[in-house]
Amino acid sequence: MISNIRNHTLVACSSLIIGSGAALSEIFVSKIIDSFLPDASFITHFRRKGSITILSTNGEVIQKIGQATREKVSPGLMPSLIKKAFISAEDRRFYKHKGVDTWGIGRALAANFRKRGIMEGGSTITQQLARIVFLSQDRNFLRKLKEAALAYKLERQMSKDEILEQYLNNVYLGSGSYGIADAAWVYFSKSPESLTLGEIALISGLAPAPSLYSPLINPDLAIQRRSIVLLRMRQQGFIQQKEFESALRSPLNLKPANPKYLKSAAPFFTSWIYQQLPLILTPEKMEIGGLKIRTSLNLQWQKKAQEVIRQSAPKKMEGALVAIQPKTGLVRVLVGGKNFEKNQFNRATQALRSPGSTFKIFPYAAALSSGFKPEDKFIDAPRCWYGYCPKNFGNKYHGKVSLADSFTKSLNTIAVELLHQIGFEKVITTANQLGIGNDQQLGRYYPLAIGAYEQTVLNMTAAYAAVANRGRYNKPTPFEEIRGPENELLWIYDSNHTKGVQAIRPQVADTLNWMLQQVVKHGTGKVARLTTRPVAGKTGTSEGGRDLWFIGSIPQLTTGIWLGYDNNKRTRRGSGEAAWAWKQFMLKIEGDLKVLEFPSKGIL
């Protein structure tokens, strides 16, 4: 009796020891294998290679580039019926297996053997998620082993619902849709929670072969696939017989739409982004994907600016508008034309246009820097400089005038006289320090003083922003912050942007800014006056009215507007129209801006 007890005890102890050892060995082996596999937490930050999300300064999506899930269902909000449909279609034993379904693999092999073709797959939803996030789509034995190992690890690190939701947000479902929310929009112009049973069954049937089963390509085949999914849902008790029969009879009722954020909400601005991005990120960082770029753009202002340009440039006339924050150089608005889809040429950043009298800030700034004062007198009369004989607008001359009044009246003769007295070198150096003439050299000819050398709207607006910023020039930039695929900070404006360059002395800038205010109060820029706040600005018209300009500042924003024809045809209009357009834009946005005062006129 005692011997039997001893034997039973020995067997029990041995079993316990062996079982514990086996369990510990399994845990040990699992940990070793896990150490070579990526962590499941990466899934929450997963972005496909080369994908970029461009955001406004307020975090609104402007555009999503590449193979990106453009809209996701938030955790915990995935509709239950969608989950059931995909389980029926892709992985009927999802809640029973631990990542790999050996029973399902056997069933699939048997079915494929009977039908002599690949009719069913053996991959679970967990395996598919592992493949989407961590692996390639290559079909080979090594990849299948990795897929299985990753699936087991995901099941240990994530809950079933987390796995299912991540899968539903990332699986490719055809026509550029990645995830259920994208597919609901692309095929039916709906949100996921608005889908009918028939629509859910159709979308869930797409996963194995999205191009083959797409209702946009093969509607009859899509309906057949939908029927299979509905039948499986009925067999698993996910839907009632009446629901099943009703969904079987329902028409497709497709309402196709482009994937959300496929087209940019601010295409002229984002086209500039593409040009600037390689200047601050390496090709490797751009290629890895998952970039999230927070830009300087105020999307609401951008839309209002677009409206103003369309209204201000009738028929074949074109326009551009740029708004810059003077203290930072951050570009808050950039419109490069009326219709990006018809013409992608960016008139804000690419078009070189004669700036007319808006260029006069450079000879006047150089004159003030050289010791001239606003009250100094000059003679406004017809004259020539080495064969160059400029004329004032309307052939009007005013005799003895102060420097300030000559600027207010935009007298061409005085601008050329200043250039003659202080010399080309000082005027060109001043313009260069304010960001003008560095890409294309300014010539040493007298027409320089009144805007003979073509410039971009972006660069001219940045120069005026520097004057509003007490002479400190900030190179215009569209970037505030860039983050990588795991939300790591790659670039931030505060750390990478210098405090600008003191292009002209603060006293000179303040005096010039005061003179610009007189232009709006009493001169050619009167039409741009705002009753609520001070405005400093200048009109500009090239010969024949081919280019109409107004660049104006309030203390916290400088906005430049150009109107004209792409073929340089005469507009037969005046720069007052550009000033009027400037005012219309400011009236739309001024409620977002505090009323501030400029610094008082500088003592030179």
pLDDT per residue over 370-388, tens digit each? 999 999 999 999 999 999 9
pLDDT per residue over 279-326, tens digit each? 999 888 888 778 999 999 999 999 999 999 999 999 999 999 999 999
Rg (CA), the chain: 34
Orientation of helix 361-369 relative to helix 506-522, angle to 10°: 140
pTM here is 0.84
- Dihedral of CA 346/351/355/358: which sign? positive
CA distance 293 to 67: 16
CA distance 339 to 345: 10
Q: Name the amino acid, one letter, at 323.
A: A
CA distance 81 to 193: 9
Could you list the active site residues?
A: 90, 357
pLDDT per residue over 51-60, tens digit each? 899 999 999 9
- Contacts of residue 120, defined as CB under 8 A and 6 or more positions apart, other chains included, come to 107, 108, 111, 112
Q: Characterize the bridge pairing of strands 291-295 and 479-483.
A: antiparallel
CA distance 332 to 414: 35
CA angle 136, 177, 266 (to 5 degrees): 115
- Contacts of residue 190, defined as CB under 8 A and 6 or more positions apart, other chains included, come to 184, 199, 255
Of residues 533, 557, 583, 602, the one with CA closest to residue 332: 557
Is residue 439 helix, strand or coil? coil
Q: Characterize the bridge pairing of strands 489-492 and 501-502.
A: unpaired
Asked if the model's pLDDT at residue 241 lies above 60, the reply is yes
- Cβ contact 37:153 at 8 Å: yes
pLDDT per residue over 481-531, tens digit each? 999 988 899 999 988 777 789 999 999 999 999 999 999 999 999 999 999
CA angle 90, 95, 97 (to 5 degrees): 85
Q: Band of the pLDDT at 10, cuts 50, 70, 90?
A: very low
In the chain, domain spans: 71-249, 300-592
CA distance 196 to 67: 27
Of residues 205, 228, 229, 219, the one with CA closest to residue 256: 219
Q: Which range has the top average pLDDT, 50-54, 390-394, 438-442, 558-562?
A: 558-562
Q: What is the fold, at CATH topology level, of the domain defined by 71-249?
A: Penicillin binding protein transpeptidase fold (1.10.3810)
pLDDT per residue over 332-351, tens digit each? 999 999 999 999 999 999 99
State the pLDDT at residue 497.
Answer: 74
Asked if the model's pLDDT at residue 552 lies above 80, the reply is yes
Q: Domain spanning 300-592: which superfamily?
A: DD-peptidase/beta-lactamase superfamily (3.40.710.10)
Instruction: Kindly provide the residue ranges of all beta strands, DSSP E only, lying in 118-203, ordered along the sequence.
Output: none
* SS (HEC) of 475-544: CCECEEEEECCCCCEEEEHHHHCCCCEECCCHHHHHHHHHHHHHHHHHCCCHHHCCCCCCCEEEEEECHH
DSSP output for 60-115: -EEEEESS---S-PPTT-S-HHHHHHHHHHH-TTTTTSSS--HHHHHHHHHHHHHH
- Contacts of residue 407, defined as CB under 8 A and 6 or more positions apart, other chains included, come to 360, 364, 414, 515, 518, 519, 523
What is the rounded average pLDDT for all residues in the chain? 89
